[in-house]
Amino acid sequence: ANKESVTAADGWAMTDALNYRGGPVGSLSWNPADLVSGYGFAYNAGNLYHSLEYEAYEVLQSCNFPEAALETERMGVASFQALAMGGGRTIKQTDTDNKITNLGSAWFNSTTYYGWFYRMEARLYQEAALSSLLGSVGKAAYEGPGVGGSSSLASSLPLPLAWSGSTDYSNSYYAPQSEAGLWNAIGLASVFGGPGRVGELIEKALSQANWSDVKQALSEDDRISSDPWAAAGKAYPWEAGCGGSMPGMKSSTECTVMMGQKRIAEVAQFYLDQNITYEGKLTRVLWLQVASAAALGEGDLPATLWLARKASDLEWEAVGNLLPTSTSVYFFPGTAFYGVLATRLAKAVQQRNEPVSMASLDMLQQQAVDALDKCLAPAGRPKLSLCLLARARLGNVPMPASYKSPLVARSNTELYLALLSNYNGGSEDGRVAKEFCSEAYEEANVASKSSSTNVGPTPAAQVSPLSR
């Protein structure tokens, strides 16, 4: 439906209809809140770019990264057009005091456009970064910008948007989350980016882990006595030198992550102060995800797990605050983040086969199941591809007798078939998915042709370990 909506808007913009309103590139003044401003890129913008944003999210689930990137690029061009139409191509200053007279209004009027752009860019980064975290997906994994990559993420650092007033939509509702989402994505990509980077981080964390602390992090909610949110109040290097070689100078990646965490915390508090509870909690989830990733980057496995667990718990808790006015597509869910992380760690623990770490395997698998079941629940993201893939890889896991899944039990075959439906339904009959998610596609294709028992709570006697 979103693709049809975009196509319809584009078709209308290319007709002579706009000539009656000044033409597709007419001379009417820039008025972003108007349905018709006289500019073809802005015609019916609220419908067109809202649909484009959701279309980009949909095609990511089919592993069509090229299409999502093109749609994000289109949104970036439209954002620049909005800024330019408002006078943002040049900076005009007064003769007396050199104050800028037009750039400020241009920046304000393009807020909604840049909000769309930031959110689309964020989801593109997030999908790739979490593919890297899960592993064995294909070249969709984020191996470009970041610690081990070849290009800079600095060009994508989000400039602040207007958090008050209204343009095409309410600035106070959408602009803050747009900044937070992109800062989160950049933070995750900064830690996970680069060929083999995630594998190296996990190997390091497992090698130096204190498994008593790991078990405690998996079993207790008060391993860290203070609220992790308190860390958001620390000093952050907005004004410090970054990336140099002097002793004690923080790396560019560290600075980026810390600056992002500061801004995400400000966004969450902004929402919570206005009693916008659902978005406030989900923004805290974004903060916890990056904090968990940063802990993994430092080799602190207990903190990695504990922070990710908190993100998952808070995501599920926020379901009770969901309102009709809430954002239906936010960013990568906390349940998905922890489920993917725990699945990858469980596989690594199993491969090492060390008695001291194997003692935590059951807990890792059980918590992965719990998080992924919530991700795929009707109140979560029931068609999220990475959750389908991770849950299928776990197979049948023995769960406590008290466990109640929010899902109807599905077999591995059914999970893989659902994943193939995503891949084949939106990316030219799977052609693009076969290229960008080649490993996951082949895995699902082979597994879907075999029979398997239901995935769900099973007695210990029927346990089958990770399928991979």
Q: What mean pLDDT comes out for the span 313-321?
A: 92
Stated pTM of the model: 0.89
What residues does 458 pair with on adjacent strands? 398
Query: What distance in Å separates the CA atoms of residue 146 and residue 194, rounded to the nearest whole number?
Result: 6
Amino acid at 318: A
Local confidence band at 19 (pLDDT 50, 70, 90 cut-offs): low
Q: Which residue has the higher pLDDT, 353 or 39?
A: 353
For residue range 199-239, what is the model confidence (pLDDT) as tens digits? 999 999 999 999 999 998 998 665 444 455 555 445 445 66
What residues does 170 pair with on adjacent strands? 166
Query: What distance in Å separates the CA atoms of residue 101 and residue 8, rounded to the nearest whole number?
Result: 37
Query: What distance in Å separates the CA atoms of residue 114 and residue 177, rounded to the nearest whole number?
Result: 12
Cα atoms found within 13 Å of the Cα of residue 340, Cβ hemisphere only: 31
Local confidence band at 340 (pLDDT 50, 70, 90 cut-offs): very high
Query: What distance in Å separates the CA atoms of residue 255 and residue 243, rounded to the nearest whole number?
Result: 8
Range of weakest confidence among 38-47, 63-72, 302-311 = 38-47
- Cβ–Cβ contacts within 10 Å for residue 199, how many? 13
How far CA 415 is from CA of 20, 391, 448, in Å, comes to 52, 8, 8
Tokens for 313?
A: 């718990």
What residues does 177 pair with on adjacent strands? none
∠ CA 144-432-446, nearest 5°, is 105
- Cβ–Cβ contacts within 10 Å for residue 173, how many? 18
For residue range 379-434, what is the model confidence (pLDDT) as tens digits? 999 999 999 999 999 999 999 999 999 988 888 899 999 999 999 985 567 889 99
φ, ψ for residue 457 (rounded to 5)? Answer: -60, 125
Q: Are 412 and 447 in contact (CB under 8 A)?
A: yes
For residue range 154-210, what is the model confidence (pLDDT) as tens digits? 677 899 999 999 888 889 999 999 999 999 999 998 888 776 889 999 999 999 999
Residues in Cβ contact with 198 at an 8 Å cutoff, skipping those fewer than 6 apart: 132, 133, 135, 192, 344
Local confidence band at 30 (pLDDT 50, 70, 90 cut-offs): low
Provide the terminal-to-terminal Cα distance of the chain, rounded to the nearest Å: 36
| 33 pLDDT higher than 80 | no
pLDDT of residue 187: 92
pLDDT of residue 464: 35
E strands in 297-433: 397-398, 410-411
Q: Are 141 and 131 in contact (CB under 8 A)?
A: yes
Q: Are 393 and 468 in contact (CB under 8 A)?
A: yes
The mean of the pLDDT values for the chain is: 83
What residues does 411 pair with on adjacent strands? 454
pLDDT of residue 117: 95
Q: Which of 162, 167, 134, 87 is nearest to 466 (CA)?
A: 134
Local confidence band at 39 (pLDDT 50, 70, 90 cut-offs): low
For residue range 256-303, what is the model confidence (pLDDT) as tens digits? 888 899 999 999 999 999 999 999 999 999 999 999 999 999 999 999
Amino acid at 249: M
Burial class (CB in 10 A: 0-12, 13-18, 19+), 266: middle
How far CA 211 is from CA of 53, 181, 340, 354, in Å, comes to 43, 33, 20, 11
pLDDT of residue 434: 93
Tokens for 259?
A: 């600056």
For residue range 423-450, what is the model confidence (pLDDT) as tens digits? 998 556 788 999 999 999 999 999 988 7
